[in-house]
A and B are shown apart, each in its own frame.
Chain A
Amino acid sequence: MAPDAAPLIGVLAIQGDFEAHGRVLRRLGANVREVRVPADLEDVAGLVIPGGESTTIMLGIERERLAGPLRAVVRSGLPVLGSCAGLILLDRAHLGLMDMTAERNAFGRQIRSFEADIELAGLPGGPLHAIFIRAPWIAAHGPDRRDPRGSFDGHPVVRSPGTDARRCLSQRAER
């Protein structure tokens, strides 16, 4: 990928495993900026909200006055990937950007962490290898019948209410 073709992806870097996301994104050819203050959101083409301690990350978001700017860029259509605590932070009780309620630590505490292959509707190539670490599940969500797009042990673990994400998944499924 030519350097000037690489998109700039923001990775929320308050706490958690933001470095791991950055490594993957760089390996795939993206430019990565760690987001800690509102100015870091300028010109990013996408945003990753990583796993970690959701309470700690939310406190950091409030401390840095990031909640308003985060809501604004997401509502403007910025592609967002939330993982683990990132899913929690997107729910009704936190940033309020997704019509769902996450149940924290729903699959158990740290010692109950596990790996599993998840069928993600629209993702070709077979199940996605996933790691659940004090993982939440989606306890309640809005009326969209096309979501959730993945579940484990009967519990929803994937949600993509935005039309852009859904279209991208659908396009991949058609290839």
Chain B
Amino acid sequence: MLAVAFHSELSGDDRLHILFLEWVQDVLGRSVRG
């Protein structure tokens, strides 16, 4: 789990969501971002 007290989905900085998708990719064991 990753919990943050703020919003980055509104800030234009996508790195937290990229990190999240990489984490999902890691769990799935397959490529997410071609």
Interface residues of A (CB under 8 A from B): 1-2, 5-7, 9, 17, 20-21, 23-25, 27-30, 45-46, 48, 50-51, 74, 77-84, 86-87, 90, 97-98, 100, 102, 106-107, 115-116, 118, 120, 123, 125, 128-133, 135-138, 150, 152, 157-162, 164-165, 167-169, 172
Contact = CB atoms under 8 A, between A and B. Distances in A.
Interface of B: 1-28, 30-34
Given A24-B17, A25-B21, A87 B34 contact: no
Given A79-B23, A83-B7, A131-B8, A24 B14 contact: yes
B18 to A, nearest CB: 6
Given A24-B9, A83-B6, A118-B6, A164 B23 contact: yes
B14 A46 contact: no
A161 B2 CA distance: 7
Contact of B3 (A23, A78, A87, A169): A87
A89 B28 CA distance: 25
The main secondary structure of chain A at its interface with chain B is mixed
Contacts of B13: 128-130
B32 to A, nearest CB: 5
B32 A97 contact: no
Name the residue among B5, B6, B7, B13 with the largest chain A CB count within 10 angstroms: B5
Contact of B25 (A7, A80, A90): A7
7 contacts: A24-B17, A25-B17, A84-B5, A90-B3, A102-B5, A128-B15, A132-B6
A1 B25 CA distance: 13
Contact of A30 (B5, B6, B11, B32): B32
